[in-house]
Amino acid sequence: MVKIGVDIFGGDYAPESTLEGAILAAQELPDDAKIVCIGDREVIEKYARSKHFDVSKWEIVHTTESIDMGDNPSKAYQQKSDASIPLGFKLLKSGKIHGFASAGNTGAMMVGAMMVIKAIPGIIRPAIATFIPTTSETPILLLDVGLNPDAKPDVLVQYGIMGSLYMEHVFNIKQPRVALLNIGSEEEKGNLLTKATYPLMRDCKCINFVGNVEGHDFFSNEKADVMVCDGFVGNIILKSSEVIYDLVKSRDIHDEFFEKFNYENFGGTPILGINGVAVIGHGISSGKAIKNMILQTYHVIHANLVEKLTEAFKEYTVA
Amino acid sequence: MVKIGVDIFGGDYAPESTLEGAILAAQELPDDAKIVCIGDREVIEKYARSKHFDVSKWEIVHTTESIDMGDNPSKAYQQKSDASIPLGFKLLKSGKIHGFASAGNTGAMMVGAMMVIKAIPGIIRPAIATFIPTTSETPILLLDVGLNPDAKPDVLVQYGIMGSLYMEHVFNIKQPRVALLNIGSEEEKGNLLTKATYPLMRDCKCINFVGNVEGHDFFSNEKADVMVCDGFVGNIILKSSEVIYDLVKSRDIHDEFFEKFNYENFGGTPILGINGVAVIGHGISSGKAIKNMILQTYHVIHANLVEKLTEAFKEYTVA
């Protein structure tokens, strides 16, 4: 049985949004999956009853404490050790759940990921990834989008490997094309970082490196399945894509392609490179977003991504 | 009389696009302005006749040579010294024209700007800027968008000053708000570059520094009139905005706001920080884009931007 821990306190509209999402996800998840609600038992049971949802389909791990959005992540993590996020990571660490998802305090999620679950041996720096929508069915995986604003070349190569394994095992793409996000297509173009990274990626045998891509290569998977950049660039791209979607909505434009910019469709950002499955949701998550965050967590668990990454990095050292 | 040199060979659709643009611009420019067409006299006169345009409204500087898109910029600049771009910079240097605009080989434009016209004393590195459309009337000026992919903190501060003077004198904005493009709003957020730049910008008396902005602050001038970043980040933003517009068009979306993403509306990218007015157009420029490139060149000349920059940097040294 695949057990997915969900932080019922996590998100600006929790617990309504998280419980709504947990009900929606329970209806879509396969039989081998079970949602573990981490939150106030009374609230959870009351909500389920009000929606005529059979609460026995969930497991409940009771806590009344939560780390709030405004809390200092590190301090709160220590002081509120029974809050839903630290509790989720405890359960994940001990193997009682196989993945943990929360749309709560991102900093606290990172503390749990880095301090409790920790990086996979050989991985210099974990990363967070986002999906760039494309005009075809498969999105582009872009990483890192904010964890390491000053990534080094060997770190970017590892992002390429992580992204490649993600797209191979979660999206079933054979030999995903990995590209370096740059400001020119030729090898010698770029800033100091990308110029130093290019030859390392080209010589890395674990990935299908297809060279540089540029800003105009977004939104089409003509060239690449995975795009690698430092967390500074990635974070700016991530946030500007979100605002494009807000503008499309506010201008009352209804379009199938631009609808893909809706973060709700993916629901969450996986933390790649740690010894367990943890997915971070958007603070403003709706029920639909929470549902998709849970489904995504399931897919990552089901793809055995952590094992694949662990295996790959056993053999890998940067040249 | 303000004389604006236009490279008639410049652009994928030249000379039709450039001559069409030059006619359109001639109709809109005030009486104190004159277009100087740099190109093949016979072709120019024939085109003007075919459009019933009074060719005496232009000056013509005759040349049959051009630097092509595929030419190596530095080599071609030396070997083809009578080509339209080197000729344009010669005229600009000697004061025979007051501004020079070309949608031709960008590298050759940069060679002319840096080697012939040269940086204004005190300016460490010139920059190229783009306009980010907003939901209100005034765009945001974003710089640098590609000249310096590895800008240093003192260079970013100077970009702030240049951008501020541009928006003040070309767009008539009083005390333009200058922001640092970053991945968090707090001072201590960012990468090594932005963390080192923040205090320098805050302490710079020549600008109205409003702190950090993020990717979601694009497309609205709620927070800033000028956004400063290194050329790597800026170039990726520039190119991804262009592809957003292509997608909007290809999906047959007609929307007033997204229409502002059309590069044709601005037509060109000014090179800021050199001893003269040079504007680079997009290779794919249409007649409308060329027209706007010429009008923009006029506005920059008319605003005495080079003099304002020269004056500002006489007094300025980085703390």
Mean pLDDT check: name the lowest of A77-91, B190-204, B265-279: B265-279
**What is the Cα–Cα distance from A232 to A147, expressed in whole angstroms?**
8
Cβ of B243 within 8 Å of Cβ of A219? The answer is: yes
Which of these, B193, B270, B257, B250, lies nearest to B221 by C-alpha position?
A: B257
In the sheet where B2-7 sits, what is the strand order?
A: B59-62, B33-39, B2-7, B99-102, B277-281, B268-272, B127-132, B140-143, B226-228, B177-181, B208-213
Q: Closest Cα of chain B to A227: distance in Å? A: 13
- Whose structure tokens read 């190569």? A157
The β-bridge partners of B128 are B271
Answer yes or no: is B33 within a domain. yes
Higher pLDDT, B254 or B315: B254
Residue B318, pLDDT > 70, answer: no
Select from A194, A216, A232 the Cβ nearest to the Cβ of B242.
Answer: A216
Burial class (CB in 10 A: 0-12, 13-18, 19+), A196: middle
Cβ of B232 within 8 Å of Cβ of A257? The answer is: no
The residue segments making up the domain with residue A19 are 1-119+273-304
* Assembly ipTM: 0.92
Q: Closest Cα of chain A to B144: distance in Å? A: 13
- Whose structure tokens read 């295996």? A311
User: What's the gap between Cα B144 and its chain centre?
Assistant: 10
The answer on A209 and A288 residing in a single domain is no
| B33-39/B59-62 β-pairing | parallel
**What is the Cα–Cα distance from A158 to A153, expressed in whole angstroms?**
9
pLDDT under 70: residue ranges of chain A: 316-319
The answer on B191 and B143 residing in a single domain is yes
Contact call for residues B55 and B22 (beta carbons, < 8 A): no
Residue B240 with chain A: CB contacts under 8 Å: 215-216, 218, 237, 240
Residue B317, pLDDT > 70, answer: no
A198 touches B: beta carbon within 8 Å = no
Cβ of B191 within 8 Å of Cβ of A243? The answer is: no
Answer yes or no: is B316 within a domain. no
The answer on A61 and A46 residing in a single domain is yes
Cβ of A239 within 8 Å of Cβ of B215? The answer is: yes
Answer yes or no: is B104 within a domain. yes
A-B contacts at Cβ under 8 angstroms: 110
Cβ of B219 within 8 Å of Cβ of A183? The answer is: no
Buried b or exposed e, range B186-225, using 16+ CB within 10 angstroms? eeeebbebbbebbebbeebebbbbbbbbbbbbbbbbebbb
Write the pLDDT tens digit of every residue in B100-113.
999 999 999 999 99
Select from A215, A239, A244 the Cβ nearest to the Cβ of B214.
Answer: A239
Element (H, E) at B280: strand B277-281
Question: Given this model, what pLDDT does residue B34 score?
Answer: 98
Q: Categorize the per-residue pLDDT at B70 as very low, low, confident or very high, splitting at 50, 70 and 90.
A: confident
Cβ of B149 within 8 Å of Cβ of A253? The answer is: no
Contact call for residues A178 and A129 (beta carbons, < 8 A): no
Residue A149 with chain B: CB contacts under 8 Å: 183, 190-192
**What is the Cα–Cα distance from B51 to B135, expressed in whole angstroms?**
37
Burial class (CB in 10 A: 0-12, 13-18, 19+), A305: buried
Q: Closest Cα of chain B to A157: distance in Å? A: 19
Answer yes or no: is A27 within a domain. yes
Cβ of A216 within 8 Å of Cβ of B231? The answer is: no
Answer yes or no: is A317 within a domain. no
**What is the Cα–Cα distance from B201 to A235, expressed in whole angstroms?**
22
Task: Give the number of domains in chain A.
Answer: 2
The answer on B183 and B116 residing in a single domain is no
CATH number at residue A166: 3.40.718.10
Q: Tokens representing B164?
A: 């501020």
The answer on B135 and B49 residing in a single domain is no
The β-bridge partners of A278 are A100
Residue A190 with chain B: CB contacts under 8 Å: 149, 232
B32 touches A: beta carbon within 8 Å = no
What phi-psi label fits residue B84: left (phi over 0), alpha (psi between -120 and 50 degrees) or beta? alpha
Write the pLDDT tens digit of every residue in A55-77.
999 999 999 999 998 899 999 99
The answer on A282 and A229 residing in a single domain is no
Cβ of A247 within 8 Å of Cβ of B219? The answer is: yes
Nearest CA in chain A to B190: A149
Which of these, B17, B47, B19, B50, lies nearest to B35 by C-alpha position?
A: B19
A186 touches B: beta carbon within 8 Å = no
Q: Which of residues 109-148 of A touch B (CB under 8 A)?
A: 135, 146
Tally of CA atoms within 13 A in the half-sphere of A230 that contains its CB: 21
Which of these, A10, A111, A2, lies nearest to A63 by C-alpha position?
A: A10
**What is the Cα–Cα distance from A293 to A102, expressed in whole angstroms?**
8
The answer on B129 and B105 residing in a single domain is no
B247 touches A: beta carbon within 8 Å = yes
Q: Tokens representing B39?
A: 């190109």
Residue B93, pLDDT > 60, answer: yes
Residue B253 with chain A: CB contacts under 8 Å: 253, 255, 258
In the sheet where A99-102 sits, what is the strand order?
A: A59-62, A33-39, A2-7, A99-102, A277-281, A268-272, A127-132, A140-143, A226-228, A177-181, A208-213
The answer on B257 and B135 residing in a single domain is yes
Q: Closest Cα of chain A to B181: distance in Å? A: 8
Select from B150, B239, B253 the Cβ nearest to the Cβ of A191.
Answer: B150
Question: Given this model, what pLDDT does residue B319 score?
Answer: 44
Answer yes or no: is A260 within a domain. yes
Average pLDDT score over chain B: 95
**What is the Cα–Cα distance from A116 to B306, expressed in whole angstroms?**
57
Question: Given this model, what pLDDT does residue B315 score?
Answer: 75
Distance (Å) of CA A286 to CA A48, A97, A290, A298: 17, 23, 6, 19
Answer yes or no: is B313 within a domain. no
Which of these, A102, A21, A96, A26, lies nearest to A61 by C-alpha position?
A: A96
Q: Tokens representing B184?
A: 């968090």
Q: State the amino acid at position A265 in one-letter form.
A: N
The answer on A160 and A96 residing in a single domain is no
**What is the Cα–Cα distance from B38 to A110, expressed in whole angstroms?**
59
The answer on A198 and A88 residing in a single domain is no
B149 touches A: beta carbon within 8 Å = yes
The answer on B133 and B18 residing in a single domain is no
Answer yes or no: is B309 within a domain. no
φ, ψ dihedrals at A284, nearest 5°: -90, 15
Write the pLDDT tens digit of every residue in B120-179.
999 999 999 999 999 888 999 999 999 999 999 999 999 999 999 999 999 999 999 999
Question: Given this model, what pLDDT does residue B220 score?
Answer: 93
Contacts of A212 (CB under 8 A, 6+ apart): A179, A180, A181, A182, A184, A185, A186, A187, A189, A190, A194, A198
The answer on B174 and B43 residing in a single domain is no
Write the pLDDT tens digit of every residue in A225-234.
999 999 999 9
Select from B150, B236, B240 the Cβ nearest to the Cβ of A192.
Answer: B150
A21 touches B: beta carbon within 8 Å = no
The SS3 call for residue B141 is strand
